[in-house]
Structure 1
Amino acid sequence: MQLPALAIRNHQFTAVMFLLLVLLGVVSFFTMPRSEDPQFDFSAAVIKVVNPGTIPLDMEKLVVDPLESAINELDDLREIKTSVEDGLAVIRVEFLYGTDPDDKFDDVVAAVAQVRNQLPEGIVDLDIDKISPSDVSILQLALVSETASYLQLKHHAEALEQRIERVAGVKRVDIAALPKLEVQIQVDQRKVNGIGISLDEIHQAVASAAQNLPGGHAHAGERRFTVRTSGDYESLQAIGDTVVRSGSEKGVAGRFIYLRDIADISLTESLPSYRAKFNGRRAVFVSVVQREGSQIFNVMAGINKTLENYRQQRLAEAIEIETVMDQSASVEKQISGFFDNLNQGLILVAVLSVIVLGFKPALVVVTAIPLSIFIAIGWVDLSGFGLQQMSIVGLVIALGLLVDNAIVVVENVARHLRDGDSANEAAIKGSSQVAWAVASGTLTTVLSFLPMLLMQNGSGTFMRAMPVTVVLTLFASLLIALTLTPLIASRLGKAASNTTRAQSKLEAFSDGVYSRWLNRALQHPAKVLSVSFILLFLSLSLFPLIGVSLFPKAEKPMILVNIDMPEGTGFDQTQAMADRVEQIVRQQPLVQHIAQNVGRGNPRIYYNIMPSRQTVNFAQLFVTLERGDLPAVEPVVAELRRQLGTIAGAQIIVKEFLQGPPVVAPVAIRVIGEDLNQIQAVSREVAVIMDRTPGIVGVDNPVGKYKVDLKIDINRDKAAMLGIPLMNIDRTIRTALVGLPMGVYRDDDGEEYDLVLRLSEYPRPELATFDDIQIASATGSLVPLRQIADVKLETSIARFQHYDTERMARITADVLPGYTTEAVTNAVVEQIDQYAWPDGIHYAVGGEQANRKEAFGGMAQALILAVFGIFAVLVLQFRSFVQPLIVFAAIPFALIGALLALFITGYTFSFTAFIGLTSLVGIVVNNSIILVDYANQMRREGMAQLEAIAASARTRFVPIVLTTLTTIGGLLPLTLSGSSMWSPMGWAIIGGLLVSTLLTLIVVPVLYHYLGRMPQQD
């Protein structure tokens, strides 16, 4: 390969090229996006339909079935998950990974539009939102006040929204927990009954008066005038002046009956459905979503400046702005931690290089590290990936690998200098001699990471930035090793040939102890191979003891407390329970802040958690802690589970945050069928089985709950005889209970409020309301509701789910510390397999196990592709099918060390450990390539096969040991950090490297002796 010689001869061009590449990396480092977690995207959408007062079965028939039927016709569907409950349906649509998110979202919108006219007219809300993991709040603020009205809080929240949205890098601002304000027309039921006015008559009068119908235009000569008709209501007084009835009616002859005569009109809060508190004080939340590609620290600087100005200029004394969550602090801590690991690894690699190679040769090696990293950062930025945990871990992994090429080149150049070559000749010969081995070694390592980029599943998308960073860093290191490293080495002169004490000792060990071991191994090849295979078999037997997992807990200083009250519980009772739970949680010394949400989940503050249910019998506490490390958090969670588990009248689940793609819960069993009663009965049995399984906590079975409804049984014959349409009965009942929108009132500031007709006797819907409801007959007389309808109690299912259009109950649970999700899930499956399943009912395993099978299946395919790709490269290099098999002998021995390291350290075989094993495939093959390639070179020079492989092993002993030590040194700080996410990967690579290096130096020469037939040369 002539590239090293060209780089040395054109040294000025080489220097300028690298200067420009490094400058690009430096600029990118300071400007590229930073985030806490991977900013990835996939094709998914969520459809939310609100139709108040509709039971779940009717929601399924009228809303869910038409929508699912339309969506199910779309291409590239992965799954459709639907939740159906009283008045609410949420449909989550996911498409295959790798499809275009924007195109698929447009397809969903089009599918919904096709069936929109088939849906009920009473739908009050139909939202279609695109799901994006990056669409997460980077900042959650709380406007806190005990004395200010919600109208004041609304004014300040909207003013803040407008100001913050003008900050560069802000995508949008969301306001949550702000009560809906409406103009309530509270009718005196007894008065209108006495006068003989029905609620339907009032509704028609107000609705017609509130209608704003443009009059058009008229011409007068050559002038054209726009005609303004009655228009909107201009004030609350104007609403009161609405004429409900005129003429002679029961003693009120000759005068009008105005709305103000029979109703109180006020701008007030609607019935409570979502309220919030922060640290026990009434609050409204303001959440900020960052624009993709922006720099979080720059965005937060602009937001903080805006907040400070607002506090000084506009904020009322009675209102305070508190910070619930600031992601930038976590990003800074996490990125700093990873860069600390990177810097510590860099120091370790530099120290090892200096000790073994000496100062000047080590200077050449260490120079390659920052140059490769900065060049790679520039390329990563151009690829569209930012700085976050995946990309930085990619740099840490690459740290130990990128010096391998430089070490091999420098060590070979130094050997030529010791043989008497000039500096230039040694640099050109030494680098050219190993250039193909270095290039193919780098390519094989790249190939071991490259298939990860092809994984079309959630885990692959989540991890994508890591292999991208590793691959780009390795290409940067190869470019440096073949151009800049020989150039610098040529300028060092004879100083690079000096042998250090450590190198002398390693060479003495190679010539002495190692040579004796190698000779014995070559004399007893059968014994060596037998022992090696026995070790491999023993290591594989450890696999069941190690256990399998997907992604660990997130080690965030945050937890969620979900409170589910019995079906039918009112808002006030849920609020009281949330206050009670908050008092218990606050007693934990690690607790810093508590954001209480009643009626809905907290705004989205983590990439794989979507806001929870929207119902008055649900509450959620978002708890921030002083620390996030698992040894501190897990005892708090365990204590809270113990204390809150004793509270009667509510199901309370404490949830920790998890890493990886979204998953409902670690353990999830889906009970699938058609008969809802059977599904419900079986789901309860499965929930009992899960609850008694050791290691499981927080079992949740939403479908296992009943609800009691009030059924209005209308006597249709009586209603027909009296000339009362069923629509009038339904409308009057709704008006009397929760109010009926009749139009819109717009105030002087342009704000719009619904006009809602209600009864004044009942501040909230009461059973006694039915006694006062009267409905107008065809003759105009009022008929009590009780005369034409009976009110009965009726039991029905509270809620249920669909999975790919099939009815389903999903039973979920968390896993206690000390247990693996795989073992616990298998224990549950073993028990439910013994259950007598009714005909037409079956189950499927979801949760982490389903994700893990998908992820590990993708990784297994990636590993197979990597192996075949590496084999193809080796066949091209060695022009032989046998010698690549010799090189591949290092791979199973890497598995020995990886499993042994995980077993000793107590980590499970997680997804990141699997990534470590995949990485090992490329890393350990490099050592074998160097050994076999050099043996082939010496055989071409006339040396016998046995002598060639023995000489190659002795000559390459030092660079192989040094590259192994530097790779381990680069990974050691991250591995020893104790991260549940990355330590398993580090230990897998370190253990695999240690054992594979030891066995490679013995087993590969033995196999070469057996199989190392020289390939044909051109």
Structure 2
Amino acid sequence: MKLVRTSIKRPVGVIMIVAAILALGFVSLRNLTIDLYPDIDLPVAVVSTSYEEAAPQDVEQLVSRPIEGAVSSLEGLEVLQSQSQQGASLIFMQFSTGVDLDSALLEVREAVSRVSGVLPENAGEPSVLRFDPQALPIMTIGLSGDTPAELQQIAEDQIVPYLERQGGVASISVEGGRTEEVQIEIEREKLARLGIDSQTIIQTLNASNQAATAGSVDKGDKNLRIRVNGEFDSIDDVKNTVLTTESGDRLKLDQIAMVEKRIEDTGTVSEVNGETAVVLSALKKTDANTVETAENIQTAMDEVAPELPENVEMKTVLDTSEFIKVSINSVIVNIIIGGLFAVAVLLLFLKSIRATLVIGISIPIAIISTFTLMYFTGETLNVLTMGGLALGIGMMVDSSIVILENIVSYRQRGFSMKEAAEKGASELAPAVIASATTTLVVFLPIMLVDGIASELFTPLALTISFALLASLAVSVTLIPMLSSKLLTKAMRDGKRNWFDRLLGKMNRGYQRVLRKVLKFRKTTVLLTILSIGGSIALIPLVGTSFIPESDQGQIEVDVSLERGTSLEETETVTSEISKRLNEFSDVVDVHYLSIGSGEMGLAGGSADRASYTVQLVDPGDRERSTQEVMEDMENDLSDVVGAEVEVTEMSAGLGTGAPLEVQINGQDNAVLNELAEQIVLIMKDVEGVVAPSSSTEDSEPQLDIQVDRNKASGYGLTEQQVISQVQLAFQGQTATRYREGGEELEVRLVTPLDESAGIAELEGTPISTASGDTVPLSSIAEIEQVQGPVALNRENQQPQVNVTADIGERDLGSVTADVEEEIDQLNFPEGYTYEVGGQAQDMEEAFGDLSVALLFSLFLVYAVMAVQFENFLFPFIIMFSLPATVVGVAVGLFVTGLPLSMPAFVGIIMLAGIVVNNAIVLVDYINILRRRSYSRYDAILEAGPNRLRPILMTTVTTVLGMVPLALGIGQGAEAQQPLAVTIIFGLTVSSFFTLVLIPVVYTYFDDLSVKINKFFQKRVE
């Protein structure tokens, strides 16, 4: 090859190019973004709307349905889901893959803005957000030592603005604090006597708190705009608002009501290590480096800490960058260990430090070159991309080994160093390129299919591809050049050591095996078929799962009290739990309590629900594993009075939902509830299903007020007027807002606190009539206590009930199959359907996508070999090395106890490109010998032992390079472990079958080829 000759003739040029690539690689490495997992670009948007204190039924009817109707016709919308819960509506929209989410978000905002006017007055402004299940806070900071109101003030004035200016920080949210508001406490009887109602006060306040433009005037040659500023800027302006009574008297607001600043009751509580705290959560920018951003925040905290009051303490509660750094460092250690294994194998086979150096140098060059390509393609340094380098560490030297082995062969036959380097590299360069290309093309379908499998593993595929391309370039340029300069003494025959004698025995033994399998060809093929059949029978025993979870040393404690429990009672229970958690101080670094906060920080929290996030100390500082600590906590908290406590391990997951979720759709919520109850009972009897529950199981007590329209109209009242006065009595009404000292204050009408105490007070709530008199609420309405839903779900504008469950002791695939089999026996009413969602659905879709990718990979491997050999027959022979991988994969997963997961499936696809490499080298050399006038039989007997050494070297280096990952050494290695196990066992077993089966298949197809040629020759004659 011209490239080989050029590299040998111009060594200085090759060295300069390599130096430039290395320099560029180091620069790129410094600028690469570091994260835990690759960014998953899911086209999902969410509309979050608050509706103060409204019941789920009202939220659904008045907020969720109008917004659903507005967005349902958007182009590219695949799934529309809504969740209506007390005080909040969440609308989720999943668009088709390939939809530009930025453009879709603009369309969503436009659609939502069209219906904003029909939403209830006290509903908040709908917030349209890009939904990213991975967009979780990278750092959580606790601020303690003062009152929540003071801590809120300190956070907003001193800390948040400074932290948000740091590099990479997108936003800082504050939870658990208290803010001031202006409360106007009114007495309804007094207002009734004056002929003033609450709506009059609200309208007057709004009218008084206005600013407007009133035209312009001329001043010389200038035109001055007139602006009338009537906005409030202090509480005195609120107090001095003038109201007109029914008799025409003018009174200031503070003459008829108490106006003062009070602390707002948010219904939420935050604690850090048992102390009341305000918690700050930091989100990073999309393209920001997580580790660098976290370091910037930590530096800023150190800078701002001296300026805080003495009694205020600021502490890092959670820092995801720590787990990322530990995970990345673990992978780096695995790369180093794998590299050392590969070098040790080379040294063992080559018996020369110089020869080992010639090949070993391709590893760092390939890795550093990969960083350059990753930077320019926008990839990040994460567990999977770094794992790709660890997986490819052994494969990086494969091409160089084959080239060097052939150079050695020519050198030992008496050729000079330059001649041996040129001839040896040029002869096998085509085969090496074909082998590398077959490995590369298997990744192309992964990049092209849709879904989470492609999003997650495309970066890994690109990383391995970049490394292999770099190593291929090194093998046909740098390796021949270095061989022509360094392999002088290295090639001299020396004394045979134990390893040489072992290889000699293996060669002779392999040659004897070849003679037997060539003699008993049918027996060889039959035994292979039986082996494959037996391994296929193992697959059901292996089972399937989605993706392994990573242990990041975090535990979540969910606390559920009886629905409707007050915030004060919840605090009493959590104080007991906090005391018990403090007893785990030897293993717990920090625990963070949140009461009443909504999911994902959006909206809709409940005072009867609390959750703890527990961060354990580093694994090296504790004797118990996360699982053991979790079990001890569960036992210790199981007898907490008045609460149901669930302890789960938090994993560095991908936001894929519950392992098993059954979604039931239909028109009538009552029917859906009955079906859900039946499915829960069915799932409880399925082995492996843990804690199945329905989304409608929980209900909360509520008081339904049914206004008698006839009685109300007799007093000159409408239903809306009654509702408004009840709202004022028990939750207050927001009248207006104004800015004071740079802060926005809410002005709210409330009634005296002792007037809103219980059911009796509700029944006796005085309702002002049109005549100015008051009547008790019970005289114009019926009040009934019922159990109401906690949340109402809808999908594609149809009611939906979800049944969710965890799994244990069995794999996800078999549990899902059993559950579906049992549900199929139910008689669903017409119009009611179900489907399985959660991780089970994600797994099914991912396996479907990867199956398509595998088929395309096999076709591409064959196509590449057909082009390389310019022959359709030889590639077909080589493809017979693939079925045997099933044996290794099934046995490997069965022995290690790992299920067939998405990473393992990717490993199978990788094997399609890896296992054919040995067959390519073997078949190619058989053809070379036959072109040298060897008979077929002699060519096989000569080529087998001759290629055994490089095949063993490439296989052993690849396998040993992946051993650290297969052992799951270090944190964050769980995602690569099934992939590594699959490749190790699959490659090892298939290599054996390649050495034995391929020569037999070669003879069969060669015989067939001869018969076909004779047949056509006779037809021509």
For Structure 1 versus Structure 2, the TM-score category normalised by the shorter chain is over 0.9
Q: Partner of 1:31 in structure 2?
A: 31
Q: Partner of 1:607 in structure 2?
A: none
1:266 paired residue among 245, 260, 265: 260
Deviation digits for residues 573-601 of structure 1 (CA, Å, limit 9, x no counterpart): 33333334434444445332111111115
TM-score by length of 1: 0.93
For residue 46 of structure 1, report the CA deviation from its aligned partner.
Answer: 1.0
2:304 paired residue among 306, 310, 324: 310
Deviation digits for residues 163-219 of structure 1 (CA, Å, limit 9, x no counterpart): 112112222222223334321111234544565643334334433333444555456
2:782 is aligned with 1:790: yes
Deviation digits for residues 805-833 of structure 1 (CA, Å, limit 9, x no counterpart): 332111112223x3322233333333333
2:736 is aligned with 1:739: no
Q: Partner of 1:840 in structure 2?
A: 831
Deviation digits for residues 425-477 of structure 1 (CA, Å, limit 9, x no counterpart): 11111011111110010010011222211231113212221111001111111
Q: Partner of 1:341 in structure 2?
A: 334
Distance 1:637 1:375, change over 3 A: same
1:970 paired residue among 961, 967, 970: 961
Match runs of 1:283-682 below 5 Å? 283-312=277-306, 314-357=307-350, 358-498=352-492, 501=497, 504-505=500-501, 507-588=503-584, 589-601=586-598, 614-627=605-618, 632-644=625-637, 646-647=639-640, 649-658=642-651, 661-682=654-675
* Distance in 2 separating the partners of 1:63 and 1:591: 43
For residue 650 of structure 1, report the CA deviation from its aligned partner.
Answer: 4.4
2:715 is aligned with 1:728: no
Distance 1:930 1:164, change over 3 A: same
Q: Is the 8 A contact 1:654 1:698 kept in 2?
A: no
* Distance in 1 separating the partners of 2:377 and 2:114: 38
Distance 1:493 1:826, change over 3 A: closer
Give the residue type in structure 1 aligned to 2:36: E
Q: Is the 8 A contact 1:506 1:958 kept in 2?
A: no
2:677 is aligned with 1:684: yes
Distance 1:585 1:69, change over 3 A: same
SS of the residue 1:704 aligns to: coil
Give the residue type in structure 2 aligned to 1:564: S
Distance 1:763 1:699, change over 3 A: farther
Give the residue type in structure 1 aligned to 2:126: L
* Distance in 2 separating the partners of 1:183 and 1:677: 44
Q: Is the 8 A contact 2:384 2:457 kept in 1?
A: yes
Q: Partner of 1:861 in structure 2?
A: 852
* Distance in 2 separating the partners of 1:3 and 1:332: 41
Distance 1:992 1:149, change over 3 A: closer
For residue 43 of structure 1, report the CA deviation from its aligned partner.
Answer: 1.4
Q: Partner of 1:105 in structure 2?
A: 105
Say which is worse superposed, 628-637 or 293-302, in terms of deviation. Answer: 628-637
* Distance in 2 separating the partners of 1:264 and 1:350: 83
Q: Partner of 1:958 in structure 2?
A: 949
Distance 1:879 1:410, change over 3 A: same
* Distance in 2 separating the partners of 1:753 and 1:411: 79
Give the residue type in structure 1 aligned to 2:181: E
Q: Partner of 1:235 in structure 2?
A: 234
Give the residue type in structure 2 aligned to 1:899: A
Q: Percent identity?
A: 26
Distance 1:158 1:882, change over 3 A: farther
For residue 771 of structure 1, report the CA deviation from its aligned partner.
Answer: 5.1
Say which is worse superposed, 477-486 or 682-691, in terms of deviation. Answer: 682-691
Deviation digits for residues 319-355 of structure 1 (CA, Å, limit 9, x no counterpart): 1101111122222211111000000111111111011
Distance 1:959 1:946, change over 3 A: same
For residue 794 of structure 1, report the CA deviation from its aligned partner.
Answer: 4.1
Q: Is the 8 A contact 2:48 2:603 kept in 1?
A: no
Match runs of 1:890-901 below 5 Å? 890-901=881-892
Q: Partner of 1:805 in structure 2?
A: 797
Say which is worse superposed, 398-407 or 63-72, in terms of deviation. Answer: 63-72
SS of the residue 2:908 aligns to: helix
For residue 408 of structure 1, report the CA deviation from its aligned partner.
Answer: 0.3
SS of the residue 1:282 aligns to: strand
SS of the residue 1:800 aligns to: strand
For residue 665 of structure 1, report the CA deviation from its aligned partner.
Answer: 0.6
For residue 125 of structure 1, report the CA deviation from its aligned partner.
Answer: 3.3
Give the residue type in structure 1 aligned to 2:814: A
Give the residue type in structure 1 aligned to 2:587: L
For residue 700 of structure 1, report the CA deviation from its aligned partner.
Answer: 3.4
* Distance in 2 separating the partners of 1:799 and 1:492: 74
Q: Partner of 2:915 in structure 1?
A: 924
Deviation digits for residues 603-656 of structure 1 (CA, Å, limit 9, x no counterpart): 67xxxxxx7852333222111112569971223333444555555654443333
* Distance in 2 separating the partners of 1:390 and 1:980: 10
For residue 373 of structure 1, report the CA deviation from its aligned partner.
Answer: 0.6
SS of the residue 2:17 aligns to: helix
Q: Partner of 2:135 in structure 1?
A: 135
* Distance in 2 separating the partners of 1:223 and 1:3: 77
Give the residue type in structure 2 aligned to 1:929: I
Say which is worse superposed, 529-538 or 941-950, in terms of deviation. Answer: 941-950
Q: Partner of 1:762 in structure 2?
A: 754
Q: Is the 8 A contact 1:772 1:784 kept in 2?
A: yes
* Distance in 2 separating the partners of 1:889 and 1:222: 92
2:278 is aligned with 1:278: no
For residue 967 of structure 1, report the CA deviation from its aligned partner.
Answer: 0.4
Give the residue type in structure 2 aligned to 1:514: Y
For residue 922 of structure 1, report the CA deviation from its aligned partner.
Answer: 1.0
Q: Partner of 1:608 in structure 2?
A: none
For residue 760 of structure 1, report the CA deviation from its aligned partner.
Answer: 1.4
* Distance in 2 separating the partners of 1:807 and 1:832: 19
Distance 1:602 1:94, change over 3 A: closer
* Distance in 2 separating the partners of 1:646 and 1:530: 62
For residue 2 of structure 1, report the CA deviation from its aligned partner.
Answer: 2.3
For residue 711 of structure 1, report the CA deviation from its aligned partner.
Answer: 2.5
For residue 714 of structure 1, report the CA deviation from its aligned partner.
Answer: 2.3
Deviation digits for residues 681-736 of structure 1 (CA, Å, limit 9, x no counterpart): 22122223334444333433222333443233223233334333433322222111
Q: Is the 8 A contact 1:664 1:812 kept in 2?
A: no
* Distance in 1 separating the partners of 2:481 and 2:572: 75
For residue 107 of structure 1, report the CA deviation from its aligned partner.
Answer: 3.1
Say which is worse superposed, 105-114 or 969-978, in terms of deviation. Answer: 105-114
Q: Partner of 1:96 in structure 2?
A: 96
Q: Aligned pairs, how many?
A: 1002
Supply the RMSD in Å over aligned alpha carbons.
2.7
